[in-house]
Amino acid sequence: MNIFLAGDSTVQTYDASSAPQAGWGQFIANYFTTEVQFLNRAIGGRSSKSFIAEGRLDSLLNELNENDYLFIQMGHNDATESKPERYTDPYSDFKHYLNMYVQVARNRKATPILITPVARMHDNGGIFVNDFPDYCNAMKQLASEEDVRLIDLMTMSLNYYTSIGYDETLTLFMASLNGTDFTHFTEKGADRIARLVTQGVKELQLDISKHVLLKDKAKVHLFLAGDSTVADYPASQAPMAGWGQMLGAFFSDEVVIQNEARCGKSSKSFILEGHFQRIVGKIGNGDYLFIQFGHNDEKPDGTEPFTTFQSFLSQYIDMARQKGATPVLVTPVHRRRFDEAGRLVNTHGEYPAAIRELSELRQVPLIDLCAATEGLYQSLGPEDSKQLFVWFTPGEHQNYTEGVEDNTHFSEYGAKEVARLVIERIADMGLPLTACM
């Protein structure tokens, strides 16, 4: 079953060079079963008129088959009076051109679905404004006159923006990054709008509605990819623990922690040994992927900071985004190593800097756990910081009868304190996960 998308830049699929700008057509397939295939023919700067004038509707005519669907979202560019090649009068030209899409679909025994234009971020005195009221009304008139099913995305998006507030709405738009673009979406925003469209499909109770996969909003899955400082440990190694083991204690049951971190793994070996693939098979829309590597990348068979390390980390970022999840980069926790003056020594070389650079280049949220743990260890000093790690004299603990002085791996207390640092940074960034703490 095929669903074709005809629309503008708020719908279109963007290539990686435009990231994090995205259209909702990029993400909608993630909300449907694999029996449904989306073919996104939307393109930036097109109105209902210019899309036809360029021969794009004719191309759709040749692609559409019986039982397919044609989703049509137009309006943004139809309202551009300064560009006559785009502009249409809402109640005459606009309705006329939209009806051409409807008839093309029906002539091919496909089902047309009209979608009112998605709302821009236009706030007026605390109220989000519909910039295209006449075009929305004209589309609704046509839907009634021609008995076409309609998804009122304008109303749905305005209601959604109101429900989450100005600050959170801003993160959905490119204006959160460049300060000027209140029309085009970030990947996060495009995903949220795709979900609204999917909800509209579900409510229409169409034949394709049975293929909708809307996850229970009460559950968000937080996946962890990392090394031994993040991993879960068995009781036989207690009190050794990774911070990922303690993270769930800070969240409500709305968040499910999926700790896939493995001891001894680098960003490279985690992928090559198949651990990455486990996450690929489970992660989905609205989930999160926290990525902390560095300790084992420093080894001879590891990676180079500003080349292969960044390249492997990018694979995690790309996979998460393709799945509609949010990637979060995490710099490696410090080892406990002080110099003679009582100052913490950086053992990670340029790996933290490489992660910070990649975060900026790819516009990925960053938890600078390297800096955070430096502050924690330094505040405790060389002696008291031992309590964060696995330190026992011979015979002191049944699991470490010969004693241990481990300056890399955390005790349960240390893992919990580092997890607390992660939680604080999540809150500082304002990630939606904050609402689930």
Catalytic residue among 269, 409, 411, 417: 409
Consecutive H or E run containing 362: helix 351-362
Task: Using the structure block, give the residue that is written with the tokens 């793994």.
Answer: 265
Task: Give the pLDDT score at 321.
Answer: 93
The residues, ordered by sequence, that sit 6+ positions from 95 with a Cβ below 8 Å of its Cβ are: 138, 139, 141, 142
The residues, ordered by sequence, that sit 6+ positions from 428 with a Cβ below 8 Å of its Cβ are: none
Grade residue 214 by pLDDT with cuts at 50, 70 and 90.
Answer: confident
DSSP string, 265-324: --HHHHHHTTHHHHHHTT--TT-EEEEE--TTTTSTTS--IIIIIHHHHHHHHHHHHHTT
**Across the strands, what pairs with 4?**
39, 70
Task: Give the pLDDT score at 417.
Answer: 96
Contacts 24+ apart (CB under 8 A), 103-108: 104/57, 104/60, 104/61, 104/64, 104/70, 105/64, 105/68, 105/69, 105/70, 107/61, 108/61, 108/64, 108/65, 108/66, 108/68
pLDDT mean across residues, the chain: 94
Q: Is residue 4 pLDDT above 90, yes or no?
A: yes
- What average pLDDT does the segment 395-411 reach? 96
- What average pLDDT does the segment 21-31 reach? 95
Q: Count other Cβ atoms within 10 Å, centred on residue 6.
A: 27
Would you state the structure tokens that stand for residue 85, as one six-digit string? 């090649």
Residue 409 falls in the annotated catalytic set? yes
Residue 144 falls in the annotated catalytic set? no
- What average pLDDT does the segment 262-270 reach? 98
Q: Is residue 219 pLDDT above 80, yes or no?
A: no
Would you state the structure tokens that stand for residue 158, as one six-digit string? 């305005």
CA 389/CA 201 separation, integer angstroms = 52
Q: Is residue 285 pLDDT above 90, yes or no?
A: no
Q: Give pLDDT tens digits for 88-124.
A: 999 999 999 999 999 999 999 999 999 999 999 998 8
331 and 294 Cβ atoms separated by less than 8 Å: yes
Would you state the structure tokens that stand for residue 257, as one six-digit string? 């922690």
Domains in the chain and their CATH numbers? Answer: 2-211 (3.40.50.1110), 220-436 (3.40.50.1110)
Q: Is residue 132 pLDDT above 70, yes or no?
A: yes
Catalytic residue among 47, 228, 359, 411: 228
Catalytic residue among 85, 273, 405, 424: 405
Q: Is residue 251 pLDDT above 90, yes or no?
A: no
Percent with pLDDT over 90 in the chain: 87
CA 8/CA 117 separation, integer angstroms = 9
Task: Give the pLDDT score at 435.
Answer: 79
The residues, ordered by sequence, that sit 6+ positions from 389 with a Cβ below 8 Å of its Cβ are: 336, 406, 407, 408, 409, 410, 411, 414
CA 247/CA 305 separation, integer angstroms = 27
Task: Give the pLDDT score at 215.
Answer: 56
Task: Give the pLDDT score at 317.
Answer: 96
Least confident of 50-59, 250-259, 275-284, 402-411: 250-259
For 122-144, give one letter per residue: b (16+ CB within 10 A) or e: eeeeeebebbbeebbebbbebbe
φ, ψ of residue 376 in degrees (nearest 5): -65, -50
- What average pLDDT does the segment 353-365 reach? 96
Task: Give the pLDDT score at 20.
Answer: 92
The residues, ordered by sequence, that sit 6+ positions from 215 with a Cβ below 8 Å of its Cβ are: 284, 285, 286
C-alpha atoms less than 13 angstroms from C-alpha of 289 in its C-beta half-sphere: 30
- One-letter amino acid of 423: I
- One-letter amino acid of 174: M
Would you state the structure tokens that stand for residue 11, as one six-digit string? 């719908």
Would you state the structure tokens that stand for residue 345, as one six-digit string? 């020594």
Task: Give the pLDDT score at 400.
Answer: 96
Q: Is residue 218 pLDDT above 60, yes or no?
A: no
Residue 388: is it exposed, middle or buried by C-beta count within 10 angstroms (0-12/13-18/19+)? buried
C-alpha atoms less than 13 angstroms from C-alpha of 55 in its C-beta half-sphere: 2
Least confident of 50-54, 125-129, 145-149: 125-129
